[in-house]
Amino acid sequence: MISITGLHKSFGSATVLRGIDLEISQGEVVSVLGSSGSGKSTLIRCINGLEKIDGGRVTVDGFDVSKPRELADARKRSGTVFQLFNLYPHMTAVQNIALAPVEVLNVPRKDAEAEARRLLQQVGLSERADAYPAQLSGGQRQRVGICRALAMKPSYLLLDEVTSALDPEMTAEVLSILANIAKQGTTMVFVTHEIEFARSISTRIAFLDKGQMIADLPTEDFFSDKGMAMPRVAQFLSKMRKD
């Protein structure tokens, strides 16, 4: 379980998160929605320990991410996929995927690379397994990024606006893969602007506004009268749909 209580985060004088409470249990797919600058990405970065938290507590399966000794254990349990892919440019797709299993989980290189190829095959990239990131399209890079996160067999997959840097066609190819992963029962925290997709795969929607979580509802409730009863949510949804 990922447990967030009273999370505060500010950058200098700008407060980005003002007391977030959120619990994510095994098997859930939680989409985090909200306007740009509402703190969605920061929330993810607090869960995987990339940002130092200023207040509150974040634990992953009981491991406190703000304690350096526990951070490594917390990180072993979650995998992150980034908006800008962040692949290692000097490594092939297979090497990108196999690096952490070999170095962190001590999987023999051969096994790790075989697993990497199997994952690449699942996302339709078996032919590009030995290509370098610069030789791949954006959508292909993001699929490698997803495989890299999955290779660590994480209990939780953290997805930080993973389709924001992709054109619609590439977005579709990445989303269909994510839908598959969701179906397989992987727990996901999905920060996104893809409202319709979030609706189709999520079990729950968390809505952030100016650093506060103003809605945390089951998906069907969020998109029904309950959600619409909240003026900010209604405004956001109508605006996003118009776009």
Partner 1 sequence: MPTILSWLNVKRSGGGWGTTPLKNAAAVDTDLLILLSETGFTIEARRLQFDLSILAKHIPFLLEGTWLTFKVCLISVIGSLVLGLLVAAARTSSSTFLNRLSAVYVDMFRNIPFIVQLFFFYFGLPEIGIYIDALSTGIIALSIAGGAFTSDVIRSGILAIEPGVIEAAQVSGLKRATIFRRIALPIALRTSVRPLGSVFINLILTSSVLSTITLNELTGSAKIVASQTFRPFEVYFVLLVAYAALTWSVSIVIGALHRHLNRNQAEGVA
Footprint of partner 1 (CB under 8 A): 48-50, 72, 75-76, 78-80, 82, 84, 86-90, 99-100, 103-104, 128, 131-132, 134-137, 140, 145, 148-149, 152
H-helix or E-strand spanning residue 126: none
The runs of H, that is alpha helices, within the chain are: 40-47, 68-77, 93-104, 109-122, 138-150, 168-183, 195-201, 219-222, 225-228, 231-242
Q: How far is the CB of 41 from partner 1 (least distance, A)?
A: 12
Q: How far apart are CA 172 and CA 155, in angstroms?
A: 25
Q: How far is the CB of 157 from partner 1 (least distance, A)?
A: 12
Cβ proximity to partner 1: between 125 and 213 the closer is 125
Cβ proximity to partner 1: between 31 and 48 the closer is 48
Cβ proximity to partner 1: between 48 and 59 the closer is 48
12: phi > 0 → left, psi -120 to 50 → alpha, else beta; which? left
H-helix or E-strand spanning residue 37: none
Q: How far is the CB of 169 from partner 1 (least distance, A)?
A: 13
Cβ proximity to partner 1: between 91 and 240 the closer is 91
The two structure tokens encoding residue 57:
């507590």
Cβ proximity to partner 1: between 138 and 227 the closer is 138
Looking up tokens 């196999």 gives 98
CA dihedral 54, 52, 16, 165 (to 10 degrees): -170
Q: Using DSSP, state whether 14 is helix, strand or coil.
A: strand
Q: Is residue 64 within 8 Å of residue 74, measured between CB atoms?
A: yes
Distance of CA 116 to the CA centre of its chain: 20
Q: How far is the CB of 164 from partner 1 (least distance, A)?
A: 13
Q: How far is the CB of 68 from partner 1 (least distance, A)?
A: 11
Cβ proximity to partner 1: between 80 and 219 the closer is 80
Q: How far is the CB of 223 from partner 1 (least distance, A)?
A: 31
